[in-house]
Amino acid sequence: MTARLRAALAAADDDRIIYDLPGIEERYDELLRRLPGADVRFAMKACPVDEVLARLARKGAGFDAASPGEVGQALRAGAPAARVHYGNTVKSDRGILAAHRLGVRDFATDSPEDVTALAALAPGSRVFCRLATTGEGALWGLSRKFGCAPEEAVRVLAGARDAGLTPAGLSVHVGSQQMTAAAWRRAFDAFADVLAALAARGIRLDHVNLGGGLPALGYRDLRGRPLVPDLDETFATIRAGMARLRAAARGPLRFVVEPGRHLVADHGAIRAHVARLASRRHADGGRGYWLFLSCGKFNGLYEADQLQYPLVFPSHGAAAELVPAVVAGPTCDSDDVVAEGRVPVQVPRAAASGDPVWILSSGAYAVSYMTRGFNGYGPLPHTCLRAG
């Protein structure tokens, strides 16, 4: 947590999510240093906040949009249409038409049916085919709904060429919050095989889209242990894979990466408050503490099924007496549990209703999951820090 973010959290007197825009810029610059030559297309779904998008657009980022609504928001943020692609393989006819009318000319695909629709509704467009992955090593595998097998990708892109589209690239997603470098090695193996098979058919692609999956650094697992990915190994593996594909290519080959949570998660934090610390009898007859917060799964912390967010209690010092507790949100829904691992979260015994709580590394997807106010608990307003 930067000093900027800490000061803003301390100054906030109501619940809100705060984004450190300079911190996001710093993470973006670091990514470019780690992956020289790669174009960044920010995955908008991770943080559809206008101020964040505008900052990234000014830095030169493009955007991975999954709907015409996201395309429009990216354009309003200042990105030219040439730096926006429609990265969702699930598209209706209406969605294709709307995106094409907004100027989008690069579309993801993974099926012959989608290719047929693109040829009719977005003629002459460029298409890149998404390869399926196992998602092994990631918190969210993303292995069921999207992508096709390598041999099918060859047929899809050959069909795109025959339909008058430009077969332009391949893409992959190794799984969200990918913790292993091995997943990237497997992805590059698949890229190499498909590129060779396409070349044998006379199809030369001009780019490879590495997708998302780069992890945030501040999460904890469901036992409360820090989730610490080896970013050095991950980036070294990606750079080696890029060099391998460039060496094998018979023409220019560029690379695109679609970070989402990697850029914004650790530079966003929620200022929430304690609703109640309660001692309750459990089903097994024992007693234990539950800490109820003003923010839960239905107003920002939906990903708590797979991870824990670090909690800070600024009203209670380091010497405060702690008790183990289940942490839950405020709604009248039993699934609204933020932290219930094998190792309960340690919270101040003296925590009282109204005490502020800082929920760290919560900048990714929180706004996306607050489209409506569940149970009357509305979306958090947001604040963006613009300078140091």
* 3-state SS record for the chain: CCHHHHHHHHHCCCCEEEEEHHHHHHHHHHHHHHCCCEEEEEEHHHCCCHHHHHHHHHHCCEEEECCHHHHHHHHHCCCCHHHEEECCCCCCHHHHHHHHHCCCCEEEECCHHHHHHHHHHCCCCEEEEEECCCCCCEEECCCCCCCECHHHHHHHHHHHHHCCCEEEEEEECCCEEECCCHHHHHHHHHHHHHHHHHHHCCCCCCEEECCCCCCCCCCECCCCCECCCCHHHHHHHHHHHHHHHHHHCCCCCEEEECCCHHHHHHHEEEEEEEEEEEEEECCCCCEEEEEEECCCHHHCCHHHHCCECCEECCCCCCCCCEEEEEEECCCCCCCCEEECCCCCEEEECCCCCCCEEEECCCCCCCCCCCCCCHHHCCCCCEEEECCC
Q: What is the pTM of this model?
A: 0.94
319 plus 241 within the same structural domain:
no
88: CATH: 3.20.20.10
d(C-alpha 36, C-alpha 351), whole Å: 47
176-233 pLDDT, tens digit per residue, is: 999 999 999 999 999 999 999 999 999 999 999 999 999 999 999 988 899 989 999 9
On whether residue 8 sits in a domain, the answer given is: no
Q: Write down the pLDDT at residue 340.
A: 80
The overall average pLDDT reported for the chain is: 94
Based on the structure, what is the number of domains in the chain?
2
> What are 177's two structure tokens?
């919050």
Measuring CA to CA, which residue among 223, 216, 206 is closest to residue 308?
A: 223
- State residue 95 phi and psi, 5-degree precision: -65, -40
Domain extent, residue 130, equals: 21-265
Residue 253 and residue 273 in one domain: no
123 shares a domain with 57:
yes
Looking at the structure, tell me whether residues 71 and 99 fall in a common domain. Answer: yes
CB 274 within 8 A of CB 292: yes
Whether 258 and 113 share a structural domain: yes
Q: Is residue 64 part of a domain?
A: yes
pLDDT in the model for residue 342: 67
Residue 308 has pLDDT above 80, yes or no: yes
The pLDDT of residue 142 is 80
Q: Among residues of the chain, what percentage have pLDDT more than 90? A: 87
Whether the per-residue pLDDT at 31 is higher than 90: the answer is yes
- Which of the listed residues 226, 248, 265 is the one where a domain comes to its end? 265
Identify the band that residue 267 occupies on the pLDDT scale cut at 50, 70 and 90. Answer: very high
86 and 130: one domain?
Answer: yes
Band (pLDDT 50/70/90 cuts) for residue 330 is: very high
Residue 346 maps to a domain: yes
Inside any domain, residue 7? no
What residues contact residue 147 under an 8 Å CB cut-off, 6+ apart?
A: 89, 110, 130, 131, 132, 133, 172, 173
Joined tokens for residue 261: 């949570």
Domain boundary among 265, 294, 320: 265
Q: Are residues 73 and 168 in the same domain?
A: yes
Which of 193, 84, 41 lies closest to 131, judged by CA? 193
What's the confidence (pLDDT) of residue 212? 96
Residues 205 and 311 in one domain: no
C-alpha to C-alpha distance for 305 and 322, rounded to whole angstroms: 24
Instruction: Give the Cβ contact number of residue 248 at 10 Å.
Output: 13
Query: In the prediction, which pLDDT does 251 show?
Result: 85
pLDDT tens-place string over residues 77-98: 999 999 999 999 999 999 999 9
Q: Do the domain assignments include residue 16?
A: no
Q: At which residue do the structure tokens 């598209």 appear?
A: 91
Say what the pLDDT of residue 388 is.
65
Whether residue 6 is contained in a domain is answered as no
Residues 229 and 295 in one domain: no
Per-residue pLDDT at 377: 74
Does residue 294 register a pLDDT over 70?
yes
Q: Does residue 372 have a pLDDT over 70?
A: no
Query: In the block, which residue shows the tokens 């030559």?
Result: 37
Q: Do 249 and 303 have their domain in common?
A: no
User: In angstroms, rounded to a whole number, what is the distance separating the alpha carbons of residues 51 and 47?
Assistant: 10
CATH (domain of 284): 2.40.37.10
Give the residue from 212, 245, 265 where a domain finishes: 265
pLDDT at 148 over 70: yes
pLDDT number for residue 179: 96
Whether the per-residue pLDDT at 285 is higher than 80: the answer is no
Q: Same domain for 260 and 271?
A: no
Q: What integer pLDDT is reported at residue 1 of this predicted model?
A: 87
Residue 284 CB-density burial (10 A; 0-12 exposed, 13-18 middle, 19+ buried): exposed
